[in-house]
Amino acid sequence: MIFAIPVLVGFGIAAGPVLAVQPLWLKRFAGWLLLAILVMIADRALATSEPLIRMIGICCVLLGGMKGLVYAEWAGSQRLSMPRYVLFALFWFGMDPGSFQTRRRNLSWKGDVAIGLLLILLGTVGAWCVWWMQWRQVFLMFLPMSLGFHFGALRVLKGALRAAGFPVRTLFPNVLKTDGISDFWSRRWNVGYSQMMQRILGKPVQKVLGDNAGVMAVFLASGLLHELAITLPVRAGFGLPALYFALHGGLTSLEKKLGRSIGKFPALLAVILPLGLLFPPAFQREVIAKCLDVFEMVRDGLP
């Protein structure tokens, strides 16, 4: 049933323009409901697949559904042409449809491609070292993969789209420049995702219940989405990713209450030390470690 995944992704993406013309309350309700239904169907369709395949399939469906949801929220009097909407939905990991509205000339892009390729190389070499040394500590496994994909491959993709005239921005700016938890999650890590969550959930809740409620709503929803992407595929560790994001929501609220950030190193430690909550042992074993096994396949395939 793995072939059902592209169909479900297509449904999520196609829903965007349809929801865009609906009343605000309806597009939000129907968008989230559709996302939940698509994920449930994807989980059933992949029930007999390996956890790594389930994770990839469910994440693809989540991404497609969120693309439709955020486009519907963004589109008012503005719209994207169908080719540009497809480009945004299928060929960009960010959540900024406005970047595909107007093409520009002479955008810088070569530096992004060069940096991205270098980071892909460093991430690949680092992942090989982790595999060869048989390290299984979660941070050591995750770091080179993140370096190669989040900071490398997505940077190359950014450069390619900017070369085509679309002013997309870096999704994962230099995390070492962070000065606190709020800065890390809003400006350093997956910027497109944080902007999306603020647009479709944070601001609506903030208008009704206040700033702190808006902040916690974003973090709790992020926890739920990561439960779907992490614990659901491995059928274990339920509640741990939600606890991780609830912790960071509390720290962000604390920063706002104090009126200052907690600083770079405390923020990075707060991100790194509880990674075992975000990535429970079953996910580390069945997904992250399995990704490293690609080097074993390459080795076995050599003459």
> Phi and psi of 110, rounded to 5°?
-65, -40
pTM: 0.94
How far apart (Å, rounded) are the C-alpha atoms in residues 90 and 87? 5
Residue 72, both tokens: 């519907």
- SS3 of 27-67: the string is HHHHHHHHHHHHHHHHHHHCCCCCHHHHHHHHHHHHHHHHH
Whether the pLDDT of residue 163 is over 90: the answer is yes
Q: What average pLDDT does the structure give for the chain?
A: 94
Residue 208 banded pLDDT, cuts 50, 70, 90 = confident
Whether the pLDDT of residue 66 is over 80: the answer is yes
Question: With the C-alpha atoms ordered 27, 29, 30, 33, is the resulting torsion angle positive or negative?
Answer: positive
DSSP 274: T
How far apart (Å, rounded) are the C-alpha atoms in residues 202 and 148? 30
Residue 119, both tokens: 């980071």
Residue 177, both tokens: 């420049």
SS3 82: helix
Q: Which residue has the tokens 């169908």?
A: 82
DSSP H helices, 134-186, are: 138-148, 154-163, 181-183
Residue 82, both tokens: 């169908």
Question: Which residue ranges make up each domain of the chain?
Answer: 1-103
Are 35 and 15 in contact, with CB atoms under 8 Å apart? Answer: no
**What's the pLDDT tens digit per position in 223-276?**
999 999 999 999 999 999 999 999 999 999 999 888 899 999 999 999 999 999
Q: Which is more confidently placed, 280 or 210?
A: 280
Which of these, 19, 152, 158, lies nearest to 79 by C-alpha position? Answer: 19
Q: By percentage, how much of the chain surpasses pLDDT 70?
A: 99
How many CB atoms are closer than 10 A to CB 273? 10
How far apart (Å, rounded) are the C-alpha atoms in residues 43 and 264? 38
Residue 289, both tokens: 């470690």
Helical (H) or strand (E) element with 139: helix 138-148
Mean pLDDT over residues 30-36, rounded?
95
Helical (H) or strand (E) element with 70: helix 51-74
Amino acid at 153: A
Burial 224-259 (b: 16+ CB within 10 A, else e): ebbbbbbbbbbebbeebbbebbbbbbebbbebeeee
How far apart (Å, rounded) are the C-alpha atoms in residues 76 and 84? 16
Listed range (78-82, 86-90, 158-162) with the worst mean pLDDT: 78-82
How far apart (Å, rounded) are the C-alpha atoms in residues 105 and 135? 46
Residues with Cβ < 8 Å from 171, sequence gap 6 or more? 93, 94, 150, 154, 158, 190, 191, 192
**What's the pLDDT tens digit per position in 85-122?**
999 999 999 999 999 999 999 999 999 999 999 999 99
Mean pLDDT over residues 72-85, rounded?
91
Mean pLDDT over residues 284-291, rounded?
96
